[in-house]
A and B are shown apart, each in its own frame.
Chain A
Amino acid sequence: MERFRKIPVVAAIENYFKRNLGTIIGLILLCTIIAIATDKFLTGSNILNLFKSNAVNAIICCGMLMAILMGEIDISVGSTVGLSGVVGAYFITKLGLPVWLTVICCILVGAIIGLINGLSISYLKIPAFVATLATMSIGRGLTEVLTGGVTIRIRETGYTILGTKTIGSISIIIIYAVAALLLTWVLLNKTRFGYYVYAIGGNRTAAQYSGVNVKLYNMLPYIFIGMLCGMGGIIWSARLGSAAATLGKGFEMDAIAAVVIGGTSMSGGVGTVGGTFIGILIIGVLTNGLNLMGIDSFWQEVFKGIIILFAVIIDVIKKSKARDN
Chain B
Amino acid sequence: MNGTSLLKMTNISKSFASNVVLDGIHLELNEGEVVALLGENGAGKSTLIKILGGIYKADAGEIYIDGEKKEISSAAVAGANGIRIIHQEIILVPERSIAANVFLGREYRNKLGFIDYKRMEDETQKVIDEFGINLNAGAMVKDLSIGMQQLVEIIKAISADARIVVMDEPTSSLSQGETETLFRIIKILQKKNVGIIYISHRIEEIFQITDRIVVMRDGKIVGNVKTKEAEKDRLINLMVGRELKNYYTRTKHEIKGVSLEVKGLSHEKYFKDISFYARYGEILGFYGLVGARRTELMKTIFGAMHKKDGEVYLDEEKINIKHPKDAIKHGIIYVSEERRKEGLILINDVEFNMGLVCLKDFVRGIRVNKEAWRKMVDDYKQKFSIKFTSPKQRAGLLSGGNQQKVVLSKWLAKNPKVIILDEPTRGIDVGSKSEIYSIIDSLASNGISIIIVSSELPEIINMCNRCYVMCEGRITGELNEDEFSQEKILKFATQTMDK
Binding site for B on A (CB under 8 A): 1, 3, 186, 189-192, 194-195, 198-199, 202-203, 205-213, 269-270, 322
Contacts and interface: CB of A to CB of B under 8 A. Distances in A.
Given A1-B134, A190-B114, A191-B114, A211 B106 contact: yes
Contacts of A209: 55, 75, 85, 87, 91
B361 interface: no
Which secondary structure dominates chain B's binding surface? loop
A186 B129 contact: no
Interface stretch (B95-103, B167-175, B208-216, B419-427): B95-103
A206 B101 contact: yes
A303 B79 CA distance: 51
Given A210-B104, A211-B105, A212-B105, A198 B115 contact: no
B363 interface: no
Contacts of A202: 93-96
B226 interface: no
B69 interface: no
Most buried by B among A194, A199, A205, A270: A199
Contacts of A322: 142
Most buried by A among B85, B93, B129: B93
B136 interface: yes
A135 to B, nearest CB: 27
Top 4 nearest A-B pairs by Cβ distance? A210-B105, A202-B93, A211-B76, A210-B104
Nearest to A195: B107
B109 interface: yes
A134 B91 CA distance: 34
Interface in B112-156: 113-115, 129, 134, 136, 142, 156
Nearest to A203: B93
Which secondary structure dominates chain A's binding surface? helix
Nearest to B115: A190
Interface in B174-227: none
Nearest to A8: B118
A209 B134 CA distance: 26
Contacts of A205: 91
Interface string B38-70: 000000000000000001000000000000000
Contact of A208 (B75, B129, B142): B75
B94 A186 contact: no
A215 to B, nearest CB: 12
7 contacts: A1-B136, A195-B104, A195-B115, A198-B96, A203-B91, A203-B94, A205-B91
B114 A203 contact: no
A206 B104 CA distance: 9
Contact of B96 (A190, A199, A212): A199
A253 to B, nearest CB: 26
Interface string B281-323: 0000000000000000000000000000000000000000000
A23 B477 CA distance: 55
B95 A211 contact: no
A207 B104 contact: yes
Most buried by B among A191, A199, A210, A212: A210
Given A190-B115, A269-B93, A207 B142 contact: no
B115 A203 contact: no
Contacts of B25: none
B418 interface: no
Interface of B: 55, 75-76, 79-80, 85, 87, 91-96, 100-101, 104-107, 109, 113-115, 129, 134, 136, 142, 156
Contacts of B92: 203, 206
Contacts of B142: 322
A169 B114 CA distance: 34
Contact of B115 (A1, A192, A212, A213): A192
B107 A211 contact: no
Contacts of A191: 113-115
B76 to A, nearest CB: 4
Nearest to A3: B136
A205 B76 CA distance: 13
Contacts of B115: 189-192, 194-195
A192 B95 CA distance: 16
A192 B117 CA distance: 11
A206 B91 contact: yes
Nearest to A202: B93
Contacts of B113: 191
A201 to B, nearest CB: 8
A207 B92 CA distance: 8
Contacts of A3: 136
Contacts of B109: 192
A203 B55 CA distance: 17
Contacts of B76: 211, 213
A319 to B, nearest CB: 11
Contacts of B96: 198-199, 202
Most buried by B among A189, A192, A322: A192
Nearest to A198: B96
B136 A192 contact: no
A3 B92 CA distance: 25
A199 B93 contact: yes
A195 B113 CA distance: 13
Contacts of B79: 210-211
A191 B112 CA distance: 10
A106 to B, nearest CB: 27
Given A1-B134, A211-B106, A198 B75 contact: no
Given A199-B96, A202-B96, 20 more contacts: A1-B134, A189-B115, A192-B107, A192-B115, A195-B100, A195-B104, A198-B93, A202-B93, A203-B94, A206-B101, A207-B104, A207-B105, A209-B85, A209-B91, A210-B75, A210-B156, A211-B105, A212-B105, A213-B76, A269-B94
A1 B129 contact: yes
A195 B93 CA distance: 11
A195 B106 CA distance: 11
Contact of A270 (B87, B95, B104, B156): B95
A211 B107 CA distance: 12
Nearest to A206: B91
Contacts of A206: 91-93, 101, 104
A198 B80 CA distance: 23
B73 to A, nearest CB: 12
A194 B113 CA distance: 12
A269 B95 contact: yes
